[in-house]
C-alpha cells in the first residue's frame, strides 16, 4: 500500500533582499502523475519564453515556480491553492523581490517527494521481511 500522496508542511524563510519573513502552511502533492510532470515541463518552457540563451539560474527559477504551481494542492471549497496568502497574492512568487523564497520553497517541496519515496522503500522492505517470516514459520 502506498503512503498518502499529500503532505502539509510549515514553511519559514527570510527574504535575502528585503529581510521580510515569509511563513505559513503549504499542502502539496508529493509525487506527480505523468500528465502533471508534463504540465510542469510545459509551464517551465513557456516561462522561459523559448529563449535558448536564458541563463541556467533563470531556467531553474522558472522550473521552481512551475513545480510549485502544479504541486501545491487546490482547495475546491475555498477555490484557491492550499498556501499562505502571501504566496497567492504574489502570483506564485513572481511578484516577490526575494528570489531565495521561491528556491527555498522548491527545496522544501522536493523534500516531500524524497520523504514519500523513503516511505515507499520502507514499506517494501517491511513487506519483504513479513513474507520471509511467513515463509520461515513452521507449518502446522
pLDDT digits (tens, 9 = 90+) for 77-111: 999 999 999 999 999 999 999 999 999 999 999 99
**Confidence band (pLDDT; 50, 70, 90) for 123?**
confident
Higher-pLDDT residue of 126, 101: 101
- The values of phi and psi at residue 106, to 5°, are -55, -45
> Mind listing the pLDDT tens digit for each residue in 13-65?
999 999 999 999 999 999 999 999 999 999 999 999 988 899 999 999 999 99
**Residue 140 pLDDT:** 63
- Measured CA to CA, the distance from residue 63 to residue 44 in angstroms comes to 5
The model's pTM is 0.86
Of 74-78, 99-103, 134-138, where does mean pLDDT reach its minimum? Answer: 134-138
CA 88 to chain centre: 16
- Tell me the H-state helices in 49-98: 56-71, 85-89
DSSP string, 8-58: EEEEEEE-TTT--EEEEEEEEESS--HHHHHHHHHHHHHHHTT-TT--HHH
Report domain extents, the chain.
6-136
CA angle 62, 108, 5 (to 5 degrees): 100
Residue entry with cell 519573513: 21
- Measured CA to CA, the distance from residue 55 to residue 35 in angstroms comes to 27
- Measured CA to CA, the distance from residue 124 to residue 79 in angstroms comes to 37
Amino acid at each position: 500500500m502506498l503512503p498518502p500522496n499529500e503532505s502539509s508542511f510549515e514553511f519559514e524563510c527570510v527574504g535575502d533582499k528585503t529581510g521580510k519573513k515569509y511563513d505559513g502552511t503549504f499542502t502539496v502533492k508529493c509525487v506527480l502523475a505523468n500528465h502533471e510532470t508534463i504540465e510542469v515541463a510545459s509551464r517551465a518552457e513557456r516561462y522561459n519564453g523559448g529563449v535558448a540563451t536564458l541563463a541556467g539560474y533563470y531556467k531553474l527559477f522558472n522550473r521552481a515556480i512551475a513545480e510549485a504551481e502544479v504541486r501545491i494542492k487546490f482547495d475546491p471549497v475555498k477555490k484557491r491553492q492550499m498556501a499562505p496568502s502571501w504566496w497567492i497574492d504574489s502570483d506564485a512568487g513572481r511578484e516577490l523581490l526575494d528570489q531565495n523564497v521561491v528556491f527555498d520553497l522548491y527545496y522544501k517541496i522536493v523534500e516531500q517527494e524524497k520523504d514519500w519515496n523513503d516511505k515507499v522503500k520502507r514499506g517494501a522492505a517491511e513487506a519483504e521481511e513479513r513474507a520471509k517470516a511467513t515463509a520461515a514459520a513452521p507449518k502446522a
